Amino acid sequence: MKFTIYGSGCAKCKQLAANAEEAANAKGLEYEVEKVTDTNAIIDAGIMRTPALAIDGEIVIEGKVATAAEVQQLLA
């Protein structure tokens, strides 16, 4: 499983990454995290609001910091 975090690297982006990792750990999943901070790459991905989270290439959260529980629901 691959989590991709899109954003500038701000505190909200870091919190979203931490919440995604916590959700995956709670489910016992193996994962990797990629952080995309390049503005052009974020735009090319079709993201208009950051932070955003993609799971295995599919954007599932955009413009907010999802809690670990919310990310767990997306992994179900």
Active site residue 13: yes
- For 70, the 3-state DSSP assignment is helix
The length of the chain is 76
Active site residue 7: no
Compute the CA torsion angle 43, 47, 51, 55 (nearest 10 deg). -110
Q: Which of 13, 20, 53, 71 is catalytic?
A: 13
Q: Which of 1, 10, 11, 43 is catalytic?
A: 10
The residues annotated with a catalytic role in the active site are: 10, 13
